[in-house]
Amino acid sequence: MDNYDPPRETRALSATVYAATDVHPETVALDASSLRDSTRAVYLLDDGATVRPHYVAGWDKAGMLWLQPFPLSQGTRPDNGRPVDMSSWAIGPRRCYHVKIVGE
């Protein structure tokens, strides 16, 4: 929860991961109601083997966020076939949370 090493404060969050389909990318539903500026942040999801950046694709008033991975790869989007274009993305968030994923 802060930039100190080791961190002085951490949080335990609940999340559900929905696998990618031919039309939609992987989506993570995350209960971020206890986080500050949760909708204006980038989330680094760390499964122990890889760390992947996710952006907030949607949210509700209760604090539930829907995260999707940044479209970092070249090629076309699976939902509409258009080329992946990162030129309009502003990747300078107000906050960045490093989320370590632990299974049930």
Instruction: Inform me whether the pLDDT recorded for 69 exceeds 80.
Output: yes
Contact 27, 56 (CB under 8 A): no
Would you say 41 and 34 are in contact if contact means Cβ atoms under 8 Å apart? Answer: no
- pLDDT of 8-39, one tens digit each? 788 888 888 888 887 777 888 988 888 888 88
Neighbours of 95 (CB within 10 A): 14
- Helices and strands counted in the chain (H then E): 0, 6
Burial 3-25 (b: 16+ CB within 10 A, else e): eeeeeeeeeebebeeeeeeeeeb
Residue 59: pLDDT band (50, 70, 90) is: very high
More confident residue, 17 or 50: 50
Mean pLDDT of 51-66: 90
What is the band of 58 on the pLDDT scale with cuts at 50, 70, 90?
A: very high
Confidence label for 73 from pLDDT (cuts 50, 70 and 90): low
Domain ranges of the chain: 1-70+92-104
Q: Over pLDDT 70: what percentage of the chain? A: 84
pLDDT tens-place string over residues 88-97: 666 666 788 8
Q: What is the pTM of this model?
A: 0.73
